[in-house]
Amino acid sequence: MFFVFPSADAIAQHLSQHIIDTIKRKPNAVLGLATGSTMLPVYQRFAEQVQEHALDLSQVTTYNLDEYVGLAPEHPQSYNHYMHEHLFDKIKLDDSQVYLPSGHCADIDLECKEYSAKIQACGGLDFQLLGIGTNGHIGFNEPYTAFDSQTHVVELSENTRIDNGRFFDNWAEVPTHAITMGIQDIMQAKEIILVATGAHKAEVMANLFNSPIDEAMPASILKQHPRIKIFMDQSAASLIPDSALNTLC
């Protein structure tokens, strides 16, 4: 379940190839996508490979995990903006193929209900890409989120606001709430890969490794998934015993 790679670039290379193989096997694949700085090298490599191989993405659909509440899609720190800048525009995915939950709509409760329903209506996620917060959150499912949750609005923890605040000009601008796929939505994906890179993720990865399945550590539920892989670079894996680490390259 736990895999260590020589570098973040090696993870990006492997993961990008894995996503390409998934699409070649199933051209109408439904992909669950994540944001955060961890994903930047992954999306960069994937976009390069799509271009190199002229991969046909016309039947692919994507669903993002989460979005800040209160930020318009064109706000430079919205996840909608991030996805267009770092992936969708580069690989020319049409707006009709990509879904993000909206944190900027008239009826957010309805948006929550419809987002989970839409994922199920299209047959569920074939693959879900995940990062992890330093408190163990996945998507924006903060500690003590119910494991059977579907898309919902969350109040962000102070820890998460501090972690993500680096992208905003000042503290007052850091959103207090977000809309996120629930843990049940994530767990229903047919395959999941979680990625963690950098020394600042070493502690949470050791906590995840040692944690029982417990809502205090949201990512711990992934240990129950039949097809979960956790990819780390050497820094993120540094507090996990070598004997528990597998390699793929």
Ligand X SMILES: N[C@@H]1[C@@H](O)[C@H](O)[C@@H](COP(=O)(O)O)O[C@@H]1O
Q: Choosing from 84, 137, 152, 225, which is the catalytic residue? A: 137
Contact status: 194 vs ligand X (CB under 6 A): no
Q: Which range touches ligand X (CB under 6 A), out of 2-10, 34-42, 56-64, 119-127?
A: 34-42
Concerning whether 89 is annotated as a catalytic residue, the answer is no
Q: Choosing from 14, 18, 66, 163, which is the catalytic residue? A: 66
Q: Which residues contact 68 (CB under 8 A, 6 or more apart)?
A: 77, 78, 79, 103, 175, 177, 178
Concerning whether 135 is annotated as a catalytic residue, the answer is yes
For residues 222 and 195, is the Cβ–Cβ distance under 8 A? no
Residue closer to ligand X, measured from CB, 40 or 55? 40
Can you tell me whether residue 160 is helix, strand or coil? helix
Contact status: 34 vs ligand X (CB under 6 A): yes
By CB under 6 A, name the one of 139, 175, 182, 218 that touches ligand X.
139
Residue closer to ligand X, measured from CB, 53 or 153? 153
- Both tokens of residue 73? 């899609």
- Both tokens of residue 79? 């996840």
For residues 37 and 82, is the Cβ–Cβ distance under 8 A? no
**15 vs 177: CA distance, rounded Å:** 30
**113 vs 205: CA distance, rounded Å:** 32
Q: Choosing from 64, 80, 135, 141, which is the catalytic residue? A: 135
Contact status: 67 vs ligand X (CB under 6 A): no
Can you tell me whether residue 127 is helix, strand or coil? strand
Q: Which range touches ligand X (CB under 6 A), out of 4-12, 25-33, 93-101, 125-133?
A: 125-133
Contact status: 132 vs ligand X (CB under 6 A): yes
Contact status: 133 vs ligand X (CB under 6 A): yes
Contact status: 165 vs ligand X (CB under 6 A): no
For residues 180 and 145, is the Cβ–Cβ distance under 8 A? no
If we measure between CA atoms, which residue out of 42, 107, 33 comes closest to residue 69? Answer: 107
Residues linked to residue 204 through DSSP beta bridges, in sequence order: none
Q: Choosing from 67, 111, 126, 142, which is the catalytic residue? A: 142
By CB under 6 A, name the one of 13, 35, 64, 151 that touches ligand X.
35
Residues in touch with ligand X (CB under 6 A): 34-38, 65-66, 131-133, 139-140, 160, 164
Would you please indicate which residues are annotated as catalytic (active-site) residues?
66, 135, 137, 142
